[in-house]
Amino acid sequence: MKRIAIINYGMGNLRSVENAVSRLGFKSEIITVPKELDNFDKIILPGVGSFKKAMELLKINQWIDIIKVNVLEKKKHLFGICLGMQLLASESEEFGVTKGLNLIEGKVKKLSDLGSDKKIPQIGWNSIFIKNKHKYLNGVPDKSDFYFVNSFVFVPENKDFIIAETDYGVKFCSAIAKDNIFGTQFHPEKSSNIGRRILQNFLNA
């Protein structure tokens, strides 16, 4: 069975992700030591909170290089959830410009700066509109609802990597995929059966 690592860098819904994976019949492990990543087949990068703080913690705890080696060189599948998806970007404008992991080129911007006049942060259920068919969205109907908690969103340079969008006063990328790298702005682990379907697709890939 494939070994699944959940990265604990200090900012994430670790147990809820672990429990969701377990309910699907897979065994995951929350890891705090970067070199242990070499022993796993798939990687989940969760996150809640500040992009700037998250990147500081990833740098201090020496996660950045080991993540890039495993994802870019060893081609292991990576799933970034919420803030974890935003960390895939080149940089974020939250609390000033902060460099990201740059696994998918693009910037993280505030919803209000993109034109949304709705209450920030977005908290609650919202629909996704599938833009490109992808194996991680197999069995997920268009306009399915997922649970969001976010003020910022990922704006990729290459729009072809957007596999789903969501409207919150402005359309934004809510799911992205490039090669072996995948991310959702929403929380699949908190999105009932339809969220578990996405997790299952990733774990089975």
23-39: pLDDT as tens digits: 999 999 999 999 999 99
Antiparallel, parallel or unpaired: β 162-167 and 171-178: antiparallel
The whole-chain average pLDDT of the chain stands at 96
Whose CA is closest to 163, among 136, 186, 139, 189? 136
189 is catalytic: yes
**Chain segment 82-98, per-residue pLDDT in tens:** 999 999 999 999 989 99
Determine which one of 18, 94, 173, 187 is catalytic: 187
Q: What is the pLDDT of residues 93-137, one digit of tens each?
A: 998 999 999 999 999 999 999 999 999 999 999 999 999 999 999
pLDDT, position 117: 97
Instruction: Indicate if 82 belongs to the active site.
Output: yes
Say yes or no to pLDDT of 1 above 80: no
Indicate whether 2 pLDDT > 90.
Answer: no
Q: How does pLDDT run across 144-176, given as a tens digit for each residue?
A: 999 999 999 999 999 999 999 999 999 999 999
44 backbone dihedrals φ, ψ, rounded to 5°: -115, 130
pLDDT class of 12 with cuts at 50, 70, 90: confident
Q: What is the dihedral sign for C-alpha 85, 187, 132, 27?
A: positive
**Residue 134 is a catalytic residue:** no
Tokens of 16: 């809820």
CATH no. of 4-204: 3.40.50.880
Please report where in the chains the tokens 């740098």 appear, as a residue.
Answer: 59
| The two three-digit tokens of residue 7, written as one number | 């990265």
Predicted confidence at residue 81, as pLDDT, reads 98
Of the residues 77, 82, 94, 173, only one is catalytic, namely 82
Can you state the angle between helices 192-204 and 14-23, rounded to 10 degrees?
Answer: 80
> For residue 13, is pLDDT > 90?
no
pLDDT value for 11: 87
Q: Do the Cβ atoms of 90 and 99 come closer than 8 Å?
A: yes
pLDDT recorded at residue 93: 96
In this prediction, residues 73-82 reach a mean pLDDT of 97
Q: Which residues pair with 164 in a beta bridge?
A: 130, 175
Contact (CB, 8 A) for 7 and 70: no
Reported as a single tens digit per residue, the pLDDT across 48-74 is 999 999 999 999 999 999 999 999 999
As a whole-number percent, the residues of the chain with pLDDT over 70 amount to 100
Catalytic-labelled residue, pool 18, 94, 165, 189: 189
Give dist(CA 187, CA 184) in Å, integer: 7
